[in-house]
Structure 1
Amino acid sequence: MRKWIDAMLALSVLLAAWGIPQAQPLRVAATVPELGSLARAIGGEQVTVVVFAKGTEDAHFVEAKPSFIKELSQADVYLQVGLELEVGWAPVLLQNARNSKIALGAPGYIDAATVITPLGVPPGPVDRAMGDVHAGGNPHYLTDPLNGLRVAELLKDRLGVLRPAYQQDFAQRYAAFRDRLSTALVGAALAQKYDVTKLALLFEHGRLATFLQSQNETQLLGGWLGAMLPYSGTKVVVDHDLWVYFLQRFGLTLHGSMEPKPGVPPSTKHLQTLAQTMQAARITVLLTAAYYDPRHAQFLAQHAGATVVPMAHQAGARPGTDEYLEMIDYNIRQLTVALAGTHRQ
């Protein structure tokens, strides 16, 4: 028996050496860096990932390059944010790629927005007079880590359909990612005991502190929610309609935007009026994306005494934010430092 087992092992080595076909890694083409990061986290060695938008770019306005068409023509998976974020450049690339594996409705076409609940859905018809309003809702949902977790689960399921032999691997990587995110969100002790999505919902509705107090577990809250709890309800100003999901998840309130309408550059008059309302309401924190014209934030910093907080609107937008969890962590650290400074004043 021992000789037979040894012979089978030797045969398997020879078959591998002779090049018996193995499943090749899935070629994933992601539109934005956060999706690329999530695909790598779940896919591991079973995927190779290319990303079209750079971290510092505005993903609405990515330059469509011929090399993107080539990547899409060879892709097994097309992964997009959806909600019309890529509508200005991705459809023409997909059309020219002529790849049935990633055509709309094919197993390789993954629209991440299908697993989230969109915010900012217009109540009626949309027209250009409203600015850059998305008919399906605000597409910047990946600034909320729980939406990132939902997309990671979607990837686990869809990659498993495309590579059934690796379903267990994808499931294990998803579980590891979920554990890392949960610990980062509420701290290790609570992450091990509770469903963090339920804790986050309590936080969103201002009831987490009361719940933890009733359980004698207030001291266990850590992570991002623990860091943000002292600042619940704080009003902030933003540059673009990028942060609605982030603000809702972490208990902040939107006072106003530098843009009079989404995607419409601010006039001096609008900024002056905004500065006056910020002063009256004692609002001193301004969230800014990497691609946004810094002169507008500088104007408000000067005229309203605001602290400009450089945020990572997507993975890779700021140093040390190449991976999805790094992006969220960076934003929390930037914001808590700024809020701590303004609350001491």
Structure 2
Amino acid sequence: MKRFIFALLVLVVLASVQRPVLAEDDKLLQVCATLPDLGKLVEAVGGEHVEVTSFAKGSDDPHHLEAKPSFITELADADVLVLNGMELEEGWLPVLLRQCRNGWVQKGADGYIDASSVITPLDTPIGDIDRSQGDVHAAGNPHYLADPLNGLKVAELLRDRFAKLLPKHKEDFEDNFKTFKAELGKRLVGEKLAEKYDFTKLARLFEFNKLTKFLDQQGEASLLEGWLKDLQPNWGTKVVTDHKLWSYFSKRFGIEVCAELEPLPGAEPTSGHLKKVIEIVKEKGVKLILTVSYFNEKHAKFVSDRTDARQVRLAHLVGATDGDDDDYLDMVGYNVKQVVDALKK
């Protein structure tokens, strides 16, 4: 009898965690996103059925965000939490989840969406990890949204999860996803090629410098437009980055990262290490130094002043610059344009 009562109490507690979102199809999903990139993807897919709060701002270093009391309040009222994952928020999100007392957004609940669950990670460490290696992420490099095809994967995940929470609006989420995907295809390869081919496969051909040959064989090289057309003449461009942030971006767009200004992830650059970077820049003909707003620009300047490599500031998050990067696809486009324009100089 005692076991029966205990089991009943457990069911009551679990039921109290569940929110009536499945029944209330006309309500707006209250969504908390850890990053503005994720917030914009939520808006693109959720449309009129979501209200979004993004914790990080574009200028923030998402590794080290201040856990504000207002974030706890937002999480306490949220139906959904969308996080980047891969340990990016490890320094500040767990305390918010503990204090918000909202079971609906805890790990394993229907309202908990780890966007990294659909991503194939890069830079995954091999062997044992310790502090001597710097701020290494055991699950892999967490900056995957710099690659727009990963943004597409996350958008697809959001479509499926929102449809589960608000099944009445499943078609709306599907239509919104298709609109997002079509716009991405148009910006990546141009409207004509995106309509005829699976543009994600064209992007993978570009990654291995095989797209031009394929389009030549089809007699359609002249149809290539968008980001890949802009970057095609510069495929294989060598760069240095300040933080190991551009692995996904560089892989997608045919850019070779030769070194980082940080001697280890999260470690302050030393003069000795920067001198080694200068040697690499000169030896390999590095053309650009990719930087972000929260990284001290003096280190990039130190290298740039002593080489022919130009500094190029990119947007690591939506809203990170004063440029045209207030939307997810605009952010990617801004970064592509910054690279292309810098290579023209």
TM-score of the superposed pair, with normalisation by structure 2: 0.92
1:28–1:50: 8 Å Cα contact kept in structure 2? Answer: yes
After TM superposition, the structure 1 = structure 2 runs for residues 304-323 of structure 1, keeping only pairs within 5 Å, are: 304-319=307-322, 320-323=324-327
| Cα distance in structure 2, aligned partners of 1:185 and 1:43 | 23
| Cα distance in structure 2, aligned partners of 1:22 and 1:226 | 43
1:30–1:79: 8 Å Cα contact kept in structure 2? Answer: yes
2:312 aligns to what SS in structure 1?
A: strand
- 5+ long unaligned stretches in structure 2: 1-23
Give per-residue Cα distances to partners, 1:86-122, cap 9 Å, x unaligned. Answer: 0000011011111111111111000000111000111
Out of 332, 336, 339, the residue aligned to residue 336 of structure 2 is 332
Residue 41, structure 1, aligned to residue 44, structure 2: yes
Residue 25, structure 1, aligned to residue 28, structure 2: yes
1:288–1:309: 8 Å Cα contact kept in structure 2? Answer: yes
2:310–2:342: 8 Å Cα contact kept in structure 1? Answer: yes
- 5+ long unaligned stretches in structure 1: 1-20
1:236–1:254: 8 Å Cα contact kept in structure 2? Answer: yes
2:60 aligns to what SS in structure 1?
A: coil
CA spacing shift, 1:220–1:304, aligned 2, 3 Å: same
After TM superposition, the structure 1 = structure 2 runs for residues 185-224 of structure 1, keeping only pairs within 5 Å, are: 185-224=188-227
Give per-residue Cα distances to partners, 1:216-266, cap 9 Å, x unaligned. Answer: 011111111111111111110000000000000000111111011111111
1:276–1:304: 8 Å Cα contact kept in structure 2? Answer: no
- 1:124 deviates by 1.3
| Cα distance in structure 2, aligned partners of 1:55 and 1:250 | 23
| Cα distance in structure 1, aligned partners of 2:65 and 2:288 | 29
| Cα distance in structure 1, aligned partners of 2:299 and 2:308 | 13
Out of 284, 296, 299, the residue aligned to residue 299 of structure 2 is 296
Residue 126, structure 1, aligned to residue 116, structure 2: no
Identify the residue that residue 146 of structure 1 maps to in structure 2.
149
- 1:22 deviates by 6.8
| Cα distance in structure 2, aligned partners of 1:202 and 1:212 | 10
After TM superposition, the structure 1 = structure 2 runs for residues 81-230 of structure 1, keeping only pairs within 5 Å, are: 81-230=84-233
Q: % of aligned pairs identical?
A: 49
Question: Aligned-pair RMSD on alpha carbons?
Answer: 1.0
2:59–2:293: 8 Å Cα contact kept in structure 1? Answer: yes
Give per-residue Cα distances to partners, 1:190-218, cap 9 Å, x unaligned. Answer: 00100011111111111111100000011
User: Letter of the aligned partner of 1:252 in structure 2?
Assistant: I
User: Letter of the aligned partner of 1:329 in structure 2?
Assistant: G
Length, aligned pairs only: 321
2:45–2:176: 8 Å Cα contact kept in structure 1? Answer: yes
Give per-residue Cα distances to partners, 1:131-175, cap 9 Å, x unaligned. Answer: 111001000000000000000000000011010111000000000
- 1:125 deviates by 1.8
Identify the residue that residue 5 of structure 1 maps to in structure 2.
none
2:25–2:169: 8 Å Cα contact kept in structure 1? Answer: no
| Cα distance in structure 1, aligned partners of 2:39 and 2:171 | 21
- 1:23 deviates by 2.0
2:168 aligns to what SS in structure 1?
A: helix
1:94–1:103: 8 Å Cα contact kept in structure 2? Answer: yes
| Cα distance in structure 1, aligned partners of 2:247 and 2:74 | 32
TM-score of the superposed pair, with normalisation by structure 1: 0.92
| Cα distance in structure 1, aligned partners of 2:61 and 2:252 | 22
| Cα distance in structure 2, aligned partners of 1:159 and 1:87 | 25
1:31–1:51: 8 Å Cα contact kept in structure 2? Answer: yes
